[in-house]
């Protein structure tokens, strides 16, 4: 099936062709006809599946089909992060380049004046993060009375990031009569409840990115102790095949420290995380996109929506404790059909995280055993327990019992 069979209008077909898309992705195939028909849609899909075009294309078409004489905000897209909001804005610009519709993106962390001016000039499509939008609403600078289509993107992240109350407040300012589209990578109960409340007889569309994305990525895990992670990373980076690599750390501090250490080893690296100013984040991203920086060190939240083509490798310097984050992270390589490589460093304390990840992706991640920093801890070692009582020395017999129990739980590690 190609895009023209989806009954998209020529200006959109031209734009899609210019982007080099030969056929719609599964989420686009499923969602576009319903959105064009004015249905509410719940989409279970993550970034990397083509979901932005799945809503942006039919939205642009609907706005074009029913032009308004006066400029008013007709579409609101809420995004949890500034990076994702910018990317959604870019997508509207790309797909709508042959249409006379205007959009703007508003988010916090930067001065509000240019955003206010853009709003005053008039836009049909507004992409926003919740905090700044509420701020501007409070100042009477944004009016949502004229919204016809509302998109809540990455709803599960909104929840994780504590934005759900802000989102509810924004929804209460929207007209009752509207089309609502909700996208979420996962569907926890809270999101399901929200969907039940804000959507009217929605169509559910679902793609199974976890399996499809993950299968295209060559994954491996390195068992390595914490102090050896940095030398292992430097060792791996000796390989010039690692051209453009996204390295994930758990904390912002960890990201900064790693960048300093890599710079000392004369490896070009920059960090991107929530403590950096918007301009520093954009600069880091731009340097990475253009290849000036080889290594971009990111935390999970900052990495949401990073859409850089040709990321050759993702390295999980720290394993995430939320298994879905692993899928999001490695999905940064293998964008739009390309194949990618993901390495994960796993120290003893992170082994339970690895088990959770493997359960989610229903795959055993192959272990690399021929590297210079192999952990001396046996693969089936029990992770250190965080409870003080369990740290008390145990007698020989007890210790043996624990490890055999552990072996039973982890048959091959």
Site for ligand AMP, rule CB under 6 A: 21, 24-25, 28, 47-53, 307, 335-336
Closer CB to ligand AMP, 21 or 379, in the complex: 21
Q: Which is nearer to ligand AMP, 48 or 96 (CB)?
A: 48
Q: Whose Cβ is closer to ligand AMP: residue 50's or residue 130's?
A: 50
Q: What is the layout of strands, in order, in the sheet containing 75-78?
A: 103-106, 125-128, 75-78, 149-152, 179-184, 41-44, 203-206
Strand partners, 125: 75, 103
Nearest approach, Cβ of residue 50 and ligand AMP (Å) = 3
Pairing of strands 245-248, 295-298: parallel
Q: Which of 217, 82, 92 is nearest to 157 (CA)?
A: 82
Cα 404 to the center of its chain, rounded Å? 39
Would you call 185 exposed, middle or buried from its count of C-beta atoms within 10 A (0-12, 13-18, 19+)? buried
Of the pair 28, 249, the CB lying nearest ligand AMP is at 28
The distance of closest approach from Cβ of residue 220 to ligand AMP in the complex, given in angstroms and rounded to an integer, is: 24
Question: Among residues 24 and 320, whose Cβ is nearest to ligand AMP?
Answer: 24
CB of 51 to ligand AMP, least distance (A): 5
Which residue lies nearer to ligand AMP by CB, 24 or 323? 24
Closer of 24 and 80 to ligand AMP (Cβ)? 24
Q: Give 88 or 297: the residue with its C-beta nearer to ligand AMP.
A: 88
Least distance CB 19 / ligand AMP (angstroms): 6
Q: What is the number of other CB atoms lying within 10 angstroms of the CB of residue 124?
A: 25
The token duo for 325 is 């984050």
Report, in Å, the least distance between residue 61 CB and ligand AMP: 15
3-state DSSP call for residue 117? helix
DSSP secondary structure of 154-211: SHHHHHHTT-HHHHHHHHHTS-SSSEEEEEESS--HHHHHHHHHH-SSPEEEE--HHH
Q: Quote the least distance from Cβ 82 to ligand AMP, whole Å.
A: 15
Q: Given the structure tokens 């340097």, which residue do they identify?
A: 287
Distances (CA, A) of 275 to 64, 181, 257: 40, 31, 14
Shortest distance, CB of residue 66 to ligand AMP, whole angstroms? 25
Q: Supply the minimum distance, in Å, between the C-beta of residue 170 and ligand AMP.
A: 22
Query: 110 exposed, middle or buried (CB, 10 Å; 0-12, 13-18, 19+)?
Result: middle
């Amino acid at each position: 099936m190609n895009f023209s069979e989806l009954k998209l209008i020529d200006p959109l077909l031209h734009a899609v062709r210019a982007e080099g898309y030969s056929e719609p992705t599964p989420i686009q195939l499923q969602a576009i006809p319903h959105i064009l028909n004015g249905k509410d849609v719940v989409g279970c899909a993550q970034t990397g599946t083509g979901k932005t075009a799945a809503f942006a294309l039919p939205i642009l078409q609907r706005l074009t089909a029913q032009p308004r004489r006066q400029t008013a905000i007709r579409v609101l897209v809420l995004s949890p992060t500034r990076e994702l909001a910018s990317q959604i804005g870019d997508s509207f610009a790309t797909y709508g380049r042959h249409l006379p519709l205007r959009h703007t993106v508003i988010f916090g962390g930067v001065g509000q004046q240019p955003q206010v001016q853009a709003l005053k000039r008039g836009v049909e499509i507004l992409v926003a993060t919740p905090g700044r939008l509420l701020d501007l609403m409070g100042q009477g600078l944004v009016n949502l009375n004229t919204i016809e289509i509302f998109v809540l993107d990455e709803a599960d992240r909104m929840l994780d990031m504590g934005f759900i109350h802000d989102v509810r407040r924004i929804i209460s300012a929207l007209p009752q009569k509207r089309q609502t589209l909700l996208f979420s990578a996962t569907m926890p109960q809270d999101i399901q409840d929200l969907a039940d409340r804000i959507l009217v007889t929605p169509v559910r569309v679902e793609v199974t990115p976890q399996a499809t994305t993950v299968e295209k990525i060559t994954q491996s895990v390195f068992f390595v102790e914490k102090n050896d992670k940095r030398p292992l990373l430097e060792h791996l980076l000796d390989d010039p095949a690692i051209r453009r690599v996204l390295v994930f750390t758990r904390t912002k501090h960890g990201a900064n420290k790693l960048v300093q250490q890599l710079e000392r080893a004369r490896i070009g690296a920059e960090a991107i995380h929530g403590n950096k100013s918007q301009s520093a984040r954009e600069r880091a991203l731009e340097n990475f996109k253009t290849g000036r920086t080889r290594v971009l060190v990111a935390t999970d939240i900052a990495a949401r929506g990073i859409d850089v083509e040709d990321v050759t490798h993702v390295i999980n310097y720290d394993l995430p404790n939320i298994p879905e984050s692993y899928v999001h992270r490695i999905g940064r390589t293998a964008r739009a059909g390309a194949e990618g490589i993901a390495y994960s460093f796993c120290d003893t304390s992170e082994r339970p995280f690895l088990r959770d990840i493997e359960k989610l992706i229903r795959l055993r991640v192959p272990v690399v055993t021929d590297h210079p920093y192999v952990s001396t801890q046996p693969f089936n070692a029990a992770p250190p327990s965080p409870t003080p009582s369990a740290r008390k020395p145990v007698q020989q017999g007890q210790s043996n019992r624990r490890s055999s129990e552990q072996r039973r739980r982890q048959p091959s590690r």
